[in-house]
Amino acid sequence: MNNEIQSAEENLIRVYNRFPVVLDHGEGMYLYDTDGKEYLDFAAGFAVTGLGYDNKELNETLKAQIDKLYHTSNLYYHESCGEAAKELNRVSGMDRVFFTNSGGEAVEGALKSARRYAYTKGTGRYEFIAMENSFHGRTFGAVSVTGHDSYREPFEPLVPGVKFAKFNDLDSVKALVSDKTCAIILEPLQGEGGINLATQEFMGGIRKICDENGILMICDEVQCGMGRTGSMFAWQGFGTRPDILTMAKAIGNGIPVGAFAMTEEVAKYSLQPGDHGATYGGNPLACTAVKKVIEIFERDNIVGHVNEVAPYLTKKLDDLVDENDCVVRRKGKGLMQGIEITKPITEVNRRCVEGGLLVIQAEGNVLRFVPPLIVEEKHIDEMIEKLKRALAD
């Protein structure tokens, strides 16, 4: 066995089902292992590397920041903390932001912010309504609002006061609303849960329920945000501005950074000095990454590119559904799509990897495609060819 794999197997806590591949470097849409084998990447490290690999401009900017300063503490300001916050607020449509190191932490902060808002207002509200099939991360708060028993049960008792409604079923949400409801949390496009897109009616309905009942709407856009669905953030495509928004994954293109943000109205009553913190959160390297990633996104019109290329992916996947008995349906939007198949998903995924194609599994026997957003039609053609081979008998 490869030495690296052996050491990993002997020393790491075994929580991941890894493929026997040791990755070495990447370029654009491709990753290469230590034997030089090439992989076309339709996984983007879990929808993280929106700009792909080895973006020279981003690399140089990060290297320069490392040479200058990469950690201070939040007792002081640094050169890009205000700029990164301003830019992220501008593109996400929020007013105030807190930088975290991950998506789970962003969700954690969003939940705390909602409770803190209710506490200041003295409403006595503390309950969260979350969605079945949702995924919000692995920390205790995040797991508590994640709608999968397998993620929750081994760690109970969890954060109390969480109820689960059916995704895209407004009546099931209404049935859970009470004068104790503090916030409703949902992903506009569920990722892990099987690439389930919220309907316009559902998003609009949730916004209305929240407005009419003094409830905060939390959108978790850790995965579907940052251009992936054809708008900078998915909520913008629905026109339903949330009160609190969580972000991570693609906002730093792989530099560990997440964020939760809120409207000024929520911020006024929510977290106060001393209520929350993160030692690394928003350090100079993370903020430099966010600032540069947003700059590149806008200058290169990445969102426009997503809207140009996504219909091609949609068409190719629809063709696959028509041509292949084992492909039941296509799901998703923009460059966050999936196909539900009847064949054993893990085996198909393994064959994809062997054939030099990286994809991700999702709930409901779904194969997920979340490529770097720089993907072009020729890469989609190559992906479809490799996928067909993996699906063949």
Feature table: binding site for pyridoxal 5'-phosphate = 135, 220-223, 279
Helices (H), the chain: 3-11, 44-47, 56-68, 81-92, 103-121, 140-144, 149-152, 170-174, 200-213, 234-238, 264-269, 284-299, 302-323, 345-354, 377-391
Residues 105-164 that bind ligand PLP (CB under 6 A): 107, 135-137
Residues 237-296 that bind ligand PLP (CB under 6 A): 248, 258
- Contact string (CB under 6 A) for ligand PLP, positions 12-51, x = contact: ----------------------------------------
**Closest distance to ligand PLP from the beta carbon of 250 (Å):** 11
Reading the block at residue 357, the tokens are: 């194609």
Contact 340, 193 (CB under 8 A): no
Residues 154-183 that bind ligand PLP (CB under 6 A): none
Count of chain residues binding ligand PLP (CB under 6 A): 14
The annotated binding site for N(2)-acetyl-L-ornithine is made up of: 138
Q: The dihedral of CA 324, 330, 334, 337: what is its sign?
A: negative
**Closest distance to ligand PLP from the beta carbon of 210 (Å):** 19
Distance CA 182, CA 176 (A): 12
**Closest distance to ligand PLP from the beta carbon of 238 (Å):** 16
The residue among 45 and 52 lying less far from ligand PLP, judged by its C-beta, is 45
The residue among 97 and 107 lying less far from ligand PLP, judged by its C-beta, is 107
Distance CA 121, CA 178 (A): 17
Show the CA angle centred on residue 31, arms to residues 28 and 37, nearest 5°. Answer: 130
Residues 189-218 that bind ligand PLP (CB under 6 A): 191
**Closest distance to ligand PLP from the beta carbon of 357 (Å):** 21
Q: Which of 41, 87, 108, 187 binds ligand PLP (CB under 6 A)?
A: 187
101: Cβ contacts below 8 Å, ≥ 6 apart:
256, 257, 258, 278, 280, 281, 286
Angle formed by the axes of helices 302-323 and 377-391, nearest 10°? 30
Looking at this protein, which amino acid is placed at residue 7? S
The annotated binding site is made up of: 135, 138, 220-223, 279
Peptide bond into 372 cis (omega under 30): no
The residue among 191 and 334 lying less far from ligand PLP, judged by its C-beta, is 191
* Segment interacting with ligand PLP (CB under 6 A) among 97-105, 115-123, 370-378, 379-387: 97-105
Reading the block at residue 21, the tokens are: 């591949």
The residue among 104 and 391 lying less far from ligand PLP, judged by its C-beta, is 104
**Closest distance to ligand PLP from the beta carbon of 135 (Å):** 5
The residue among 360 and 374 lying less far from ligand PLP, judged by its C-beta, is 360
Q: How many Cα atoms are found within 13 Å in the side-chain-facing hemisphere of 24? A: 7
Helices (H), 233-376: 234-238, 264-269, 284-299, 302-323, 345-354
The residue among 222 and 391 lying less far from ligand PLP, judged by its C-beta, is 222
**Closest distance to ligand PLP from the beta carbon of 248 (Å):** 5
| Using rule CB under 6 A, residue 102 touches ligand PLP | yes
The residue among 41 and 108 lying less far from ligand PLP, judged by its C-beta, is 108
* Segment interacting with ligand PLP (CB under 6 A) among 2-10, 102-110, 270-278, 286-294: 102-110
Q: Which CA distances in Å does 339 have to 82, 328, 342, 387?
A: 41, 7, 10, 11
* Segment interacting with ligand PLP (CB under 6 A) among 13-21, 98-106, 202-210, 296-304: 98-106
Q: Which of 52, 103, 281, 284 binds ligand PLP (CB under 6 A)?
A: 103
Q: Which CA distances in Å does 260 have to 67, 223, 246, 315, 380?
A: 28, 13, 4, 35, 33
Pairing label, strands 357-358, 96-100: unpaired
If 0-12 CB within 10 Å is exposed, 13-18 middle and 19+ buried, where does residue 71 land?
A: exposed
**Residue labelled with tokens 């939040």:** 74
The residues binding ligand PLP (CB under 6 A) are: 102-104, 107, 135-137, 187, 191, 220, 222-223, 248, 258
